[in-house]
Amino acid sequence: MGDPRKIAVIGAGHVGSHVAMGLLAQDLCGRLVLLDIDEAKARAQADDLQDAAVLAPGGARVWAGDYRDLADAGFAVVCAGSLLVCEDRLQELSASLEVMDQIIPGLRGCGFGGVLLVITNPVDLTARYLSERLGLPWGRVLGSGTTLDSCRLVRELSRRTGTPPAAIRGFVVGEHGDSQVPLWSGVTAEGLPLRELAARDPRWKALDREETAEAVRRAGWEILCGKGSTEFGIGAAAGEIIRAVQRDTGRVLPVSVPMKNGVFASLPCALGKNGAERVAEPEMLPEERERFEASCRRLEEIWNQTVEGRKP
């Protein structure tokens, strides 16, 4: 499985550098290697991160390397891409697949035996593409999926009700994109479901679910418009996924994994030393299940139209 404290970040842009900084700050790695097609950028990011690592708790070593460095790595995080400022992440698909084609030979040839965490958008499709092209076992390739959207759901609920974010639980499932589905039936605050919360607190009673879901769906776009990238949230989400796998905690997070028909989409999954260990299927109301299945169908259709049959 490789050394779980040796982590490679492929693509050292906004996302890659924030993932890396999060790993250092939380002492989740002892050795951190950055790969980027722009080697000068990878070296500069590695130097900057190594400066930070001098003061970080674990005193990790950071360097700019190549695919040979992945042979004994426990994780590779794929953030390579060419970010487009576009509202629908699917518009990135064609450029992202070209980047995936560039990194596949390196990943194939290096003997990497760890967990591949895919972040490049549209993440459900790039994760499936890498998984199928690399032929790794179920759960060893996972997309960050709707982990970030679930944080955004909690953030929105907290803002609208005044409840501290740490007291709120809730998952978004399906596509990390426009067809995502918030599971209202599973939302709790201080352990109470929405029905109870509405009965006790006027702010929860006044909560407009449609408006909240729309704010969550548009959250990435709003950040992108304001600052040209999104990076802190995904950096934290990647750190949480890696911590759960590295420490074999069984923590449940909504990551993107293959469903029965091969479509990658997010459902809550128990994370452990092998990556995603199993889907922790949540209860869903019939209309939530229908929307989740529609989200999977949309991903399947796009896969069939644009990816299936593509020459490697």
b/e per residue, 207-220, with b = 16+ CB within 10 A?
beeeebbebbbebb
Q: Determine whether 14 is an active site residue.
A: no
Min dist. Cβ of residue 15 to ligand NAD (A):
3
Please return the burial class of 22, using the count of CB atoms within 10 Å of its CB with bins 0-12, 13-18 and 19+. buried
Which of the stretches 62-70, 98-106, 243-251, 261-269 binds ligand NAD when contact is defined by CB under 6 A? 98-106
Query: What is the contact mask toward ligand NAD in residues 152 to 181, using x (rule: CB under 6 A)?
Result: ------------------------x-----
Select from 143, 198, 193 the least CA-distant residue to 173.
Answer: 143
Terminal alpha carbon distance of the chain: 26
Comparing CB distances to ligand NAD, the nearer of 144 and 246 is 144
Token pair 């469903």 is found at 259
Comparing CB distances to ligand NAD, the nearer of 185 and 229 is 229
Q: Is 122 helix (H, G, I), strand (E, B) or coil?
A: coil
The identity of residue 221, as a single letter, is W
Which of the stretches 8-16, 48-56, 109-117, 262-270 binds ligand NAD when contact is defined by CB under 6 A? 8-16
Comparing CB distances to ligand NAD, the nearer of 41 and 273 is 41
Residue nearest to ligand NAD (CB): 13
Marked catalytic residue, from 31, 176, 217, 298: 176
Regarding 103 and contact with ligand NAD (CB under 6 A), the answer is yes
Regarding 16 and contact with ligand NAD (CB under 6 A), the answer is yes
Rounded Cα gap, residues 233 and 153, in angstroms: 12
Rounded Cα gap, residues 152 and 98, in angstroms: 29
Question: Which residues in 125-154 contact ligand NAD (CB under 6 A)?
Answer: 144, 148
Comparing CB distances to ligand NAD, the nearer of 100 and 207 is 100
**Which residue among 8, 96, 107, 219 contacts ligand NAD (CB under 6 A)?**
96
Regarding 79 and contact with ligand NAD (CB under 6 A), the answer is yes
Token pair 């030393």 is found at 273
**Which pair of structure tokens corresponds to residue 253?**
């997070």
> Could you tell me the sign of the dihedral formed by the alpha carbons of 162, 164, 167, 170, in that order?
positive
Phi and psi at residue 169, to the nearest 5°: -125, 140
List residues near ligand NAD by CB under 6 A.
10-16, 35-38, 41, 79-83, 92, 96, 99, 102-103, 119-121, 123, 144, 148, 176, 229-230, 234
Catalytic residues, by residue number, are 176
